[in-house]
Amino acid sequence: MLKVKPNCECCERELPPDSMVAMICSYECTFCRTCVDESLGNVCPNCGGGFQPRPIRPSIARRAGIGLSHQPASTEPVHMRYSVEEHQVFAASIKDIPPQDR
């Protein structure tokens, strides 16, 4: 189950569970769409993969025991391990490789 992290790991923008701008990689590294497009070049600084929109966890339990009130989003902020400059050097070497081939 997704943790639904509360913030962009790059700019620290708040990304609530219903955010339409939250993006994740296959390891659930979480960034806002602006950072993915403008700072990261669709290259995850942690794994080198690409990003997809993060799914919205239903706020209403339409099935018993399923929903945001039963599986709450994480409240623990996460921060990028690398500077944007370090990431840009890393991303430059793989950004032209399609995410499915990285």
| Per-residue pLDDT tens digits for 26-71 | 999 999 999 999 999 999 999 999 999 999 999 999 999 999 999 9
Give me the chain's average pLDDT, please. 95
Closest by CA to 57, choosing from 2, 13, 102, is: 2
Q: Note whether 45 and 82 are within 8 A (CB).
A: yes
Cut 0.85: pTM above it:
yes
Q: What is d(CA 79, CA 64) in angstroms, rounded to the nearest whole number? A: 34
Q: Note whether 57 and 71 are within 8 A (CB).
A: yes
- Give me the residues paired with residue 31 across strands: 23
What's the total number of domains in the chain?
A: 1
Domain that holds residue 10: 1-102
Q: Which two tokens stand for residue 49?
A: 């993969």
